[in-house]
Amino acid sequence: MSIFMHVLLRSPHMQFIHKVLVAWGKVGPDLAEFGWRMYEIWFTQYGKGRGPQTSSGFEHVFVGEQNVEEDKIEGLHNWIQFWREERAGRLNYKGYIGALTEEDERLIKVRFSWNDDDKAVSTLLVGTSVAFQFAWASCAFLSAAGGECCESGIMLGDIGPVTVKTFSWDIWGHGHIAGSTVLHSAFLEA
């Protein structure tokens, strides 16, 4: 995870987001300190309910997780992981729910089964890099009060307008990312 964070911090996406967050007064100018904060908010484990601390924001967004207490799949918002799981035969694509527009196939909502859960639904921003997804979610989380972001009207390049959402999980008085997604307002009703 340390190597992953080191590589991410060198990406143009994270370099840009760091400069933006410094200008907004949300983080300090020290890149190493910023990297430690990114590591902390994404990889600190938390528990669901009274269960053990077995999940993290990174797992929820980029890997996918199963909520054992509620017996349902949560997260899995990264198109690369979705593709890898489908290719390995562990995930079964069950159908397309919708997209931002009829012509645009980059922001989609899909149904799938994964680990015998037939009720899984996720929104995926298709074709983006992990660095890009990590950067926008980090920026949204750190710029929102308490990490809970729900900002509409956001343009991600020429994709949008979308609603960017981040969720916070409080651990020892500090907020950590519990999840993030990009939504079109119509997806909120689905």
Q: Report which of 55, 47, 62 is spatially closest to residue 138, judged by C-alpha positions.
A: 62
Report the Cα 129 to chain-centroid distance in Å: 12
Q: Report which of 122, 128, 187, 137 is spatially closest to residue 159, judged by C-alpha positions.
A: 128
List the catalytic residue out of 60, 109, 165, 176. 60
List the catalytic residue out of 77, 109, 165, 176. 77
Q: What DSSP string describes 95-121? A: EEEEESSSS--SEEEEEEEETTEEEEE
Q: In this structure, what are the phi and psi dihedrals at residue 114, rounded to the nearest 5 degrees?
A: -150, 125
Residue 77 designated active-site:
yes
Q: What DSSP string describes 149-184? A: EEEEEEEETTEEEEEEEEEEEEETTEEEEEEEEEE-
Q: Report which of 147, 119, 142 is spatially closest to residue 28, judged by C-alpha positions.
A: 142
Residue 119 designated active-site:
yes
Residue 26 designated active-site:
no
Q: So which residues are the catalytic ones? A: 60, 77, 119
